[in-house]
Structure 1
Amino acid sequence: MKTTVDIPDGLLREARQVARAEGTTLRSLVEEGLRSVLARRAQREGYRLPDATVGGHGLQPQAQDASREDTRSPAYGDRL
């Protein structure tokens, strides 16, 4: 697909020089750069969990050294 893109003169000159030096076309260089940027952005954009913290002061003293079962039981009313 053809499209028109405005590129600053200096950047275009540099890109043409790199393409010539590497024995490739400006089109290939632009395509490679665009793919690279899109891939990098796709990697860094991940799902971020919403902040679900609540106020409080952490565990109550009696739960500090409790086992998993001891802390689970009150929450589920000793039902399994």
Structure 2
Amino acid sequence: MRIDETLLNEAKAYAAKNGRSLNSVMEDALRQLINRSIEVAERPRVELITSAAEPGFQPRVQERFDAGEKLEHIASDLFDEELRDAAC
């Protein structure tokens, strides 16, 4: 077995710093690697929600944006409209 010399030196330094043997550090690292791969394999698959919508702004937003209004102002107005609608 060959181990990258730099990695081996880092492992030795870690072991010395933590009062452990190099063997115990290597065993722990291998256990963590194996356990992590098992955990990843056992995770349930996540289905991402996708949209069929066209990219870009809604037409009324795009019109204001094309007219030179800043997006932050348009967004602020839309937020205010939603608050008014929610209050009714």
TM-score normalised according to structure 1 size? 0.51
Shift of 1:42: 0.4
In angstroms, what is the RMSD of aligned CA positions? 1.8
Percent sequence identity is 29
Counterparts of 1:46 and 1:12, CA distance in 2: 31
Report the equivalent of 1:25.
21
TM-score normalised according to structure 2 size? 0.47
The alignment of Structure 1 onto Structure 2 pairs a total of residues equal to 45
Report the equivalent of 2:41.
45
- Structure 1: 5+ residue stretches without partners: 50-80
Give 1 or 2: higher helix fraction: 2
- Structure 2: 5+ residue stretches without partners: 46-88
Counterparts of 2:37 and 2:44, CA distance in 1: 15
| Deviation string, structure 1 residues 37-57 (Cα, Å, up to 9, x no partner) | 1000001103878xxxxxxxx
